[in-house]
Amino acid sequence: MPDPVIKIVYGPSALSKGVSNASTGGPGALLSAGSSAADRLPFDREQLFRVLHFRLYETNGARQRANWFGGRIYNKFSGEDPIYIPVSGTHLTQTLDAIRIQASDFVVASGHYLLRYDYAKRAYYQLKSERQREGD
């Protein structure tokens, strides 16, 4: 059975929203809010291309390590996945849009997801060909 295209790492829940609303100020809350806001902002096509390039590079390393026992242990402890790349809901929607796939209704901007490597790679090559056409 093939691996699912999208895995949900976590999405907004009533509990997380309540804890978030109940938390007081401080640098931790400010940094957390900044990180969440950055995940919700859409990338332009060039930024999306660069992020996919980096994520695919990291996943390629994990894929190569997965071929031997020590590498699989390293991947497990480092949290790197040889099959999926991590993306926010906003960036997942943009990545799927690049390859003309409509994101499912369960995908929300503030959620965190894993997108299967081959779909991310298709989007990367689609964006790369668009860049090359614009450069001509």
Q: What is the pLDDT at residue 136?
A: 64
Place of tokens 């695919």: 56
Q: What is the pLDDT at residue 10?
A: 77
Q: What is the pLDDT at residue 123?
A: 97
Structure tokens at 125: 């090559």
Q: What is the pLDDT of residues 12-67, one digit of tens each?
A: 554 445 544 544 455 555 455 555 556 678 899 999 999 999 999 999 999 999 99
What residues are paired with 7 via a beta bridge? 114
As a whole number, the mean pLDDT across the chain is: 85
- % the chain with pLDDT above 70: 78
Confidence of residue 133 (pLDDT cuts 50, 70, 90): very high
Count of CA atoms in the C-beta half-sphere (13 A) of 54: 7
What is the C-alpha to C-alpha distance for residues 65 and 73, in angstroms, rounded to an integer?
Answer: 9
Q: What is the pLDDT at residue 2?
A: 82
What is the C-alpha to C-alpha distance for residues 70 and 119, in angstroms, rounded to an integer?
Answer: 27
Least Cα distance to 52 among 127, 135, 130, 134 occurs for 127
Which sequence spans correspond to the domains of the chain? 6-135
Q: Which helix (H) or strand (E) holds 113?
A: strand 112-116
